[in-house]
Structure 1
Amino acid sequence: MSNKDNRHQSYAMSDPSKLFQPLVLLIEDDLRMGGILSELLEDDYRVDWVTTAVQAREHLDMDRYDAAIVDRRLPDMDGLDFVRSARRRGITVPMLMLTALASTEDIVSGLDGGANDYLTKPFRFEELNARLRTMLRGYHAEMQSYDIGDWNFQAEKGVVKSPEGLSIQLTPAEVSLLRTMCIDPDRIFTRSELLRAAFRQDAVEGTVDAYVSYIRAKTTRKLIITVRSKGYCLGAPREGELT
């Protein structure tokens, strides 16, 4: 099982609300600084902490992050070069650069290089957190739109759009279930994981099956796939397929 799978399983079993917190990639090679920031950020975010540009690139390729915090001086690459490389590869995740370089020229080069914000060391954590929240405001709404095959789920509006453009309104419980699955679209969820993550604590065991049926009836049976003896996963329904 990968570290990503371990993280999601841990959240689903211990604190399901964490699944709905923004996912932040922290790229910081200073072990003391990285440990402190990771611990402080954990109150409001899910945090993956890596120490090199190579590790960061692998994480960005594997997971869908809401934001990244990038130290300017990494052991294997200049942080600004990392940001430039990510932008050239089409990665649009908001990136906040941390650096001891405080000249106007350095700040301008960082922003022009693709960073969304630039914070000089030393800094107060409260300022870092405020800047992170500001970056996420504009980006988070966009991230709440998920493609499921040729269908599109707009979580904030509670709407699923068919390939033909038909808007289908979901109930809050249906939205909660579908959004939980969209957060980790390649995962096979057990019924107990979905029950804990998407529904009230007093929800009964058959709740998941019932709401899967409701969503399928409104959309297509291929939107959510039953995996025998395991649970459910997202499908990839295509335009023109039979329901």
Structure 2
Amino acid sequence: MSDAIVLIPSRMASTRLPEKPLAEIAGLPMIAHVVRHAEAAQIGPVVVACDDERIKQAVEAAGGCAVLTRADHESGSDRLHEALQLVDPERRYDVVLNLQGDVPMIEPDAARAAFEPLSDPDVDIGTIMTVMPDHGRHDPSFVKAVVTPVEGRRHRALYFTRATAPTGDGPLYWHIGVYAYRRAALERFVALPPSPLERREKLEQLRALEAGMRIDVSLIDSAPMDVNTPDDLERARRAMTGAA
């Protein structure tokens, strides 16, 4: 595998959970837990790309590394691209993992699984999915990956949708928004305008597919717990306290 870096986009604004990155879980801000789990994956250096000095200070107080980026980015991918230019102007790293800042309990194996598709030189972007739980089949907040098998647990993405798809017998797959980009693919992606299907489905990854980029998806056993609401936060607190 090429030299890789892990970047964690993190922004303070959140309508459902104000100041989410700083939410305390088991004695640490949530963003610090994400950093620690990312470091445990041993993929490469871990840097938080944030839009607020308070996030940067919290990460550094926990022993991590953070860089301030512009506050007006429209997407995490744009923030990721700016951070990559700031922390690696020498272009040492040619693969970057985009790990979300609201998954404080992500397993190292899940993070590494996003990289596995990049062992194929034809793949531009790697990501992960798991079998869809029954309660998510008809819920548009659960993004479905429409895929075809390649080998082992690796699949090629044909489409991503909020609809219940595909029809017929067989499992549905829940796409999890962890991405491993070749650097050239990330640079191409952020230079593209939002695409028609991206706008319609409100799914950024469709921009890459519509531009002819290849996304392969690794199947993992279970989805990492994400934190978006006060109820999610309480569940994470109970889970991490019980694991301590």
Which TM-score applies when normalising by structure 1?
Answer: 0.29
Higher normalized helix content (fraction of residues): 1
> Could you tell me the TM-score, scaled by structure 2's length?
0.29
Which structure is higher in strand share?
A: 2
* Larger relative contact order (Cα-Cα within 8 Å, sequence gap ≥ 6): 2
Larger Rg: 1
